[in-house]
Amino acid sequence: MKITHPLRLLVCTFIFMLVTISPPSQAGLITFTANIDGSQANAGTGTGSLGMGVANILFDDLSNEFSWDISWSGLTGNVTAAHFHGPALLNQNAGVQVAISTLSNPTSGSDTINTAQAADLLAGLWYINIHTDTSPSGEIRGQVQVASVPEPGTLSLLLLSMIGVFYSRSKIL
């Protein structure tokens, strides 16, 4: 059976409809990073510290599990506390959202956050503050920023597109 031009159009339309009316899926694991330094501390007025750090953070938007790996160097004092703060922009201070209980360097941990916290995190309104005995209000700070958001539907869209092209070019259904 040969596929006529209208039938090809019908098959392509059907495949397009499958793709566009399928329910949206959530992203899953979202990666964040933070470059931590003294210039960002105290709402951007800085501490003069040459200390620096880096954070790699994962957020699972299905379970609201929030996990981190943080390391630092060059601090002028001993670390006395570390927290994720928010909601705040670069030049603002905010309250603690998640405490980092292990203060060894490097440190890692996890916590489950609520929906409002997740919204602020995704909006780029969280920062990391590392406090030392020489800078009790925070020696180094870094704004948490989205590094990558996976696109779970990309592979299925590609597959459906390839099927559509195959059927639109084939002579038989």
What's the fold here for domain 29-148? Immunoglobulin-like (2.60.40)
pLDDT of residue 22: 47
Distance linking the first and last C-alpha atoms of the chain: 7
138 Cβ contact partners less than 8 Å away, ≥ 6 residues apart: 41, 42, 47, 129, 130, 131
As to burial, measured by CB atoms within 10 angstroms (0-12 exposed, 13-18 middle, 19+ buried), residue 37 is: buried
Average pLDDT over residues 53-79: 96
Helix (H, G, I), strand (E, B) or coil at 113: coil
Average pLDDT for the chain: 82
pLDDT of 6 > 70? The answer is: no
Give the distance, in angstroms, between the CA of residue 99 and the centroid of all CA atoms in the same chain.
18
pLDDT of residue 115: 96
pLDDT of 124 > 60? The answer is: yes
pLDDT of 15 > 50? The answer is: yes
Q: Helical H runs in the chain?
A: 5-21, 115-122, 154-169
DSSP-derived secondary structure for 46-88: ------EEEEEEEEETTTTEEEEEEEEE--SS-EEEEEEE-S-
